[in-house]
Amino acid sequence: MTTSQSRIEEHRVSGERLVDRVKELIHQGNVRRIIVKNEAGQPILELPLTIGVVGAVLLPAFVALGAIAALAANYTLVVEKEVKEIEAEGTPEAEACACGSCSRP
């Protein structure tokens, strides 16, 4: 039997690293949602990510992130990750990469 839970993480990043960090998080494959917040803590962009999201669909989001990053401020990425565990074995299940642009299974 498989159970599913979510975990929230926050990452502080500079504007110049924003797009690269979001891509890294998406490559992890277990991300449900990413919220970009400004220095005041106000959300400025929310990216809901689902199993069916692939690279071409994310292109407009990366363009928007690039525009936001050009403001050269510091941002907080709030990342909601899905944590699946197999109760019988107690190990996380492998997840496929959702970005569609890498070779990760």
Distances (CA, A) of 6 to 3, 75, 79, 83: 10, 22, 10, 6
Between 100 and 33, the higher pLDDT residue: 33
Q: Is 0.75 surpassed by the pTM of this model?
A: no
Write down the pLDDT at residue 95: 52
Give the pLDDT mean for 42-54: 75
Residues 10-23: what's their mean pLDDT?
88
Q: How far apart are CA 28 and CA 45, in angstroms?
A: 20
Mean pLDDT value across the chain? 75
Assess whether pLDDT exceeds 80 at residue 84: no
Give the relative orientation of helices 18-27 and 55-69 as an angle to the nearest 10 degrees. 150
Domain ranges of the chain: 2-86
